[in-house]
Structure 1
Amino acid sequence: MQQITVKELKSRQDAGENIILVDVREDHEREEYNIGGIHHKLGDIQNMDTEALDGFKDKEIVIYCRSGKRSLNACLILESLGFENVVNLEGGVLAWKEEIDN
C-alpha cells in the first residue's frame, strides 16, 4: 500500500489528474466537511460490501478519513480483496484542513 500527502494529492488535482477519492468516514463527518469523492464507509468495507468500488479494482484509489487511521485499515482490506492500487491519504481530512484549506 502506498501513502500520499495532502500536498501531493492537491498538486495532482491541480494538474488536472482524474483521481478517484473514497471517503470512508461516517455520514455526519462527511456532512461537516469533505474533500469530495465517493462516500463508502469503513464499516461497509469491513463487511466486504465493496460492490460500489469493484469497478476501480485496477485503478489508483486514494482512500481518506479523518486522520488517516481508518483509511489505512480500509486500504489493507481492499488490497486483500484484490484492489491493485490503493493509496492512503496521510493525515486525512485533518491534514487537508491544516495544510490546504488553512
Structure 2
Amino acid sequence: MADLTQQQWSEQLEKDENSVILDVRTDAEFEEGYIPGAIQMDIYNGAEFLQRARQLDPQKNYYVYCRSGGRSGQACMLLNSIGIKNAFNLKGGIMEWEGETIN
C-alpha cells in the first residue's frame, strides 16, 4: 500500500492504463459526489466488501479513496492481504480532492 498525496495520486492515475478507482464510502456519501469512473464498495459492509474485493483482478492497480483517507487506508491493507499488490490510498480523501467530481 502506498499513501499518495492528491497530486501524486491524480498524476499517477492519469498515466496508468491498468487502473481502477475504488470509492469505499457509504451509499449516502457516494451519492453526494464521487470521482468519475469510481466503483463504490462500502468498507463498512465488511462481508460484502471482502467478497467483492476477492473478485477484483489482482493484476490491476487500485486507486482507493474515502472521505478523509482513513477507511481507504484500511481498504488498501485489506486488498494487500488478499493478494492485490498495487493499492494506492488518496491522502486526505475526497474532502481535499481538487479534481473533477460527479454529483
1:52 Cα deviation (Å)? Answer: 4.0
More helix by share: 1
The code of the aligned residue for 2:23 comes to: D
Structure 1: tracts of 5 or more residues without a match? none
Moved more, 49-58 or 21-30: 49-58
Percent of aligned pairs with the same amino acid: 32
Match of 1:26 in 2: 26
Match of 1:11 in 2: 11
- Is the Cα contact below 8 Å between 1:7 and 1:100 reproduced in 2? no
User: What is the 5 A alignment of 1:54-93?
Assistant: 54-93=55-94
1:56 Cα deviation (Å)? Answer: 2.3
1:8 Cα deviation (Å)? Answer: 2.2
CA distance, structure 1, for counterparts of residue 76 and residue 11 of structure 2: 22
RMSD of aligned residue pairs (Cα, Å): 2.1
TM-score (normalizing by structure 2): 0.78
The code of the aligned residue for 1:70 comes to: R
TM-score (normalizing by structure 1): 0.78
